[in-house]
Structure 1
Amino acid sequence: MAAQPVRQRGMSPRSWIARLRDALDGLVRSSPSRFAILVFAGLVLLFTLLFSLPISRAGEGSGTPLYDALFTAVSVICVTGLATVDMATHWSPFGNALVFIGVNIGGIGVLTLASILGLVISRRLGLRARLLAASDTNPSRIHVGPVAERQAVRLGEVGGLLVTVAISALVIEVVIAVAMIPSFLAAGYDPLLSVWYSFYYSAMAFTNTGFSPNPGGLEPFQTDFWMLTMMMIGVFLGSLGFPVIFTLARSWRHPRRWSVHVKLTLATTTILLVLGAAAFLLLEFNNPKTYGQLDAGRTIFESMFMSVMTRSGGFATVDMADLNGSSLLVTDMLMFVGGGSASTAGGIKVTTLAVLFLAAFAEARGAPAMEAFGRRIPRDILRLAVSVVLWGATIVAVSSIAITQITKQPLDFVLFDVISAFATCGLSTGLTAELPPPAVYVMAATMLMGRVGTVTLAAALAAAQRRQLFRRPEERPIVG
């Protein structure tokens, strides 16, 4: 009789884990995207609590106010890079460790993160977990379910994708960090601090975040082209997207095997980088506050650096408030586009822009369908692209109106920081650091909606797809 309670006590933890697994499995069944958003929101709440603790703040005294802790948590998990406090002096070593860990977690991506969590809980990658991870590489799976056209990452390759996510992030960050250490040693930092700063900056570059752990940020490295080049490489690789890295790692010698997604991402990214650098060079070469006092070689380098960082990098060697109004507008557009799908970058994504231009070209030629690299792109992808742009523009517009009304600041500065928040870029004119608490909450919500993604958010809010068994009569409204 005495063995009965012991056996029951031994079974109770197993039963508790089973109930938890069943509950999570039911949530994933009902809506994978809602489960992913709940994971993301849970991380934000957890880090808000941790950042508000006195141990996270440098010096003695009380903890960080709630609105600053919440904003920092959202900015860290959303890998944005905007801050309402001085990141170099406000946080203690424990707080800086939280920032470092948080950006690496957030850089993985909301759906991929939820997939990994499900894998850890269930100890296996089941069909629903594979579908969940696959949807992070191709949002059309969420919108219309499995599609027939060729995908960047097929369902059977999701396990390999998750391994690629972890290995690529680790390898790239370590290599870039090691390459940065000589620059910090040359700048006069002691060896231990040089290693810490190198890994910190490497993580911020690859995750496209933009925080700086040292007072002055990149100011001591204005002429260190090696250091700035390493940061550009980190930001560029992070903004490509894990499906592209996965494809390049497997078949970089065989471009013909690359999917349309990979080719569109690489082509559009290259075009935007070149056009962005040319625009900054043309608009800022005679601005005495930015590039006007530089020689030709450094002006070209700084223009390329700015073009790379507007993809979502968030680092800057000049004060954004000193840019000409035309340059601010160009930066707005580049930030709004962002980087590649399923990457650490934000924005509407380069493939979304590419699909819109392909649709415009097809319409101008009178072609029956969009085509790219010898493949036809279905119309539902165009509908999805239009939805992403519309919802993104709506979020930016509503947030800009709200913050302008609260702060009474100039619209060009407000719009710049709001787009930076939505696109999780991190560049700022200095407005964000001076926001009152109500505007801080608005900006935090903008970052969260921008990072979670308009497609995922829309899919999460939809209880179920409606099936319609009839078609209404067709009529064409006048457009244009």
Structure 2
Amino acid sequence: MELKRTLAVPARIVPLAFLAAITTGTLLLMLPIAHVSGVVDPIAAAFTAVSATCVTGLIVVDTPTYWTTFGQVVIMLLIQVGGFGIMTLATLLTLLVSGRLPLASSLVAQAETHTLALGDVATVLRRVLISVAAAEGFIAVLLTIRFRTVYDEHLSTALWHGIFHAISAFNNAGFALYSDNMVGFVSDPWIILPICTAIIAGGIGFPVFFELRTRWRHPSSWTAHTRLTVVGYTTLLIVGVLTFVAFEWNNPGTLGPLGLDGKIIGSVAGGVFPRTAGFNSIDYGQIRPETLVINLVLMFVGGGSAGTAGGVKVTTFFLLAFVILAEMRGEEQVRIGSRAIAPRAQRQALSVALLGAGVVGTATIALVMVTSQPLERVVFETVSAFGTVGLSMNLTPELSTPARLVVMAVMFCGRVGTITVASALAFSSSRRMYHLPEEHPIVG
């Protein structure tokens, strides 16, 4: 019992840690040196701090013109803390649940035991830190060279822009130091593709990343978690790109005016950015209704577990798909490859998905009550906030203060709530020494 209480502590610490980071960020952004005019709107500061710490990317003020370099540095640090901090915590929680800390074996949450070898925690943290630094550094170098050589930015400016956007991309934050976000680079593969690569690398999750590093040549030895993540992430990525091509290719408000290269690059970005990244290289206020629906699904699902992505997670979504498939086949066990999935994991996936839908539904009703905006814009904004995506149909800056507070709460729940709920469910294991009589209510 004492061990169980000890393992449950991180789940309670997560919201408090995020609140502390948000409060600190808000106070720093309220300093006169953080704002170009020297006067900062407290709600704008708080909203920006929540969005940055929760690596969302929704903004109520223009980042490059409203905030000074000091303010932008604060935002970047909040992004790094929100992304790296939650990644580290999520990875450790995964290891705590599985009880199998040696990275050579498996870094997935299998809930087989509840033992913890503390000697390996430092190794995990060190590898995560090295991976983050290497990925962000590599992307920063590529972007800096491009900004300097092609866009003729001063070396210091190009370096700053390269570092900021690399950190923002790897942490799936979506903040940009250009007023039009990435719209000005829609046809530039040397800007868009490195950013997409960073988004995927950060969003796939470190347990999967570490396992693939040693087992990528032997898919048959992959754990169920890695299979779900890799296959699911790839499937949704392909679906996102192809549907964006199909629906936006001739749309005069998005890809229509671009050449062939621009349309292809824009379509790749259109499939990657909704995966909780938040960057936009086209005006999402002009997308077709079909694209909007696809993006709602992609944003709600999100990326991989124990990474920088938000949403209910790919593993949750595809695990439920396998549950449905097993039920349709009349099979008692849910199987992925040669492995059966424990009923407990199935219940956890269902709980996370339903709670996520509940948050989105409640927040949508709240926003409809305090705004006069069309329902489709409100729903898009709500799902984007919950999935910590940051895409917007140009609605966020128009929101009233009560509406902004609602969106802030949704961003917080979307980033902190999913990992807290998942870890709380994992640590709430209890065994009853008896079984109650079963009943079968009519379903459907």
Same fold (TM over 0.5): yes
The residue that corresponds to 1:169 in the other structure is 132
Cα separation, 1, equivalents of 2:369 and 2:358: 17
Amino acid at match of 1:416: F
Instruction: Write out per-residue CA displacement over residues 68-107 of structure 1, whole angstroms, 9 at most, x where no aligned residue.
Output: 1111111111100111111111111111111111111111
Q: 1:35-184 to 2 correspondence within 5 Å?
A: 35-59=13-37, 61-62=38-39, 64-110=40-86, 112-113=88-89, 131=96, 146-147=111-112, 158-184=121-147
| 2:64 aligned counterpart, secondary structure | coil
| 2:436 aligned counterpart, secondary structure | coil
Amino acid at match of 1:39: A
Amino acid at match of 1:171: A
Q: Which moved more, 1:468-477 or 1:388-397?
A: 468-477
Residues 1:434 and 2:398 are matched in the alignment? yes
Q: 1:323-338 to 2 correspondence within 5 Å?
A: 323-338=287-302
The residue that corresponds to 2:303 in the other structure is 339
Q: Which moved more, 1:443-452 or 1:243-252?
A: 243-252
Question: Structure 1 residues 155 and 264 mapped into 2: Cα distance closer, same or farther (>3 Å)?
Answer: farther
Question: Structure 1 residues 181 and 387 mapped into 2: Cα distance closer, same or farther (>3 Å)?
Answer: same
Match of 1:307 among 249, 260, 271: 271
Offset at residue 373 of structure 1 (A): 2.2
Offset at residue 462 of structure 1 (A): 12
Amino acid at match of 1:68: A
Q: Is the 8 A contact 2:60 2:396 kept in 1?
A: yes
Q: Is the 8 A contact 1:131 1:155 kept in 2?
A: no
| 2:243 aligned counterpart, secondary structure | helix
Cα separation, 2, equivalents of 1:262 and 1:386: 19
Offset at residue 444 of structure 1 (A): 0.6
Cα separation, 2, equivalents of 1:455 and 1:177: 29
Offset at residue 160 of structure 1 (A): 3.0
The residue that corresponds to 2:382 in the other structure is 418
The residue that corresponds to 2:373 in the other structure is 409
The residue that corresponds to 2:176 in the other structure is 212
Residues 1:262 and 2:240 are matched in the alignment? no
Amino acid at match of 1:474: E
Q: Is the 8 A contact 2:58 2:392 kept in 1?
A: yes
Match of 1:196 among 160, 164, 168: 160
Cα separation, 1, equivalents of 2:244 and 2:88: 35
Offset at residue 26 of structure 1 (A): 13
Q: Is the 8 A contact 1:407 1:435 kept in 2?
A: yes
Amino acid at match of 1:31: V
Tell me the percent identity: 38
Amino acid at match of 1:383: R
Question: Structure 1 residues 464 and 331 mapped into 2: Cα distance closer, same or farther (>3 Å)?
Answer: closer
Report the count of equivalent residues: 437
Cα separation, 2, equivalents of 1:321 and 1:458: 34
Q: 1:232-381 to 2 correspondence within 5 Å?
A: 232-381=196-345
Offset at residue 169 of structure 1 (A): 0.8
Offset at residue 28 of structure 1 (A): 5.3
Q: Is the 8 A contact 1:40 1:110 kept in 2?
A: no
Residues 1:31 and 2:26 are matched in the alignment? no
| 1:415 aligned counterpart, secondary structure | helix
Cα separation, 1, equivalents of 2:392 and 2:203: 19
Amino acid at match of 2:306: A
Question: Structure 1 residues 249 and 176 mapped into 2: Cα distance closer, same or farther (>3 Å)?
Answer: same
Q: Is the 8 A contact 2:187 2:263 kept in 1?
A: no
Length-normalised TM-score, structure 2:
0.90
Q: Which moved more, 1:441-450 or 1:207-216?
A: 207-216
Question: Structure 1 residues 168 and 243 mapped into 2: Cα distance closer, same or farther (>3 Å)?
Answer: same
Amino acid at match of 1:65: D
Amino acid at match of 2:233: T
Offset at residue 466 of structure 1 (A): 6.4
Amino acid at match of 1:102: L
Stretches of structure 1 lacking an aligned partner (at least 5 in a row) = 1-24, 117-127
Q: Is the 8 A contact 1:239 1:343 kept in 2?
A: yes
Cα separation, 2, equivalents of 1:378 and 1:463: 15
Cα separation, 2, equivalents of 1:38 and 1:115: 18
Residues 1:447 and 2:411 are matched in the alignment? yes
Question: Structure 1 residues 31 and 50 mapped into 2: Cα distance closer, same or farther (>3 Å)?
Answer: same
Question: Structure 1 residues 286 and 374 mapped into 2: Cα distance closer, same or farther (>3 Å)?
Answer: same
Stretches of structure 2 lacking an aligned partner (at least 5 in a row) = none
Amino acid at match of 1:99: I
Cα separation, 2, equivalents of 1:131 and 1:174: 30
Q: Is the 8 A contact 1:71 1:440 kept in 2?
A: yes
Question: Structure 1 residues 297 and 221 mapped into 2: Cα distance closer, same or farther (>3 Å)?
Answer: closer
Offset at residue 177 of structure 1 (A): 0.8
Cα separation, 2, equivalents of 1:139 and 1:452: 20
Q: Which moved more, 1:343-352 or 1:179-188?
A: 179-188
Cα separation, 2, equivalents of 1:93 and 1:130: 38
Amino acid at match of 2:24: L
Which entry has the higher C-alpha Rg, 1 or 2?
A: 1
Amino acid at match of 1:36: V
Q: Is the 8 A contact 2:183 2:280 kept in 1?
A: no
Q: Is the 8 A contact 1:112 1:132 kept in 2?
A: no
Q: Which moved more, 1:49-58 or 1:265-274?
A: 49-58
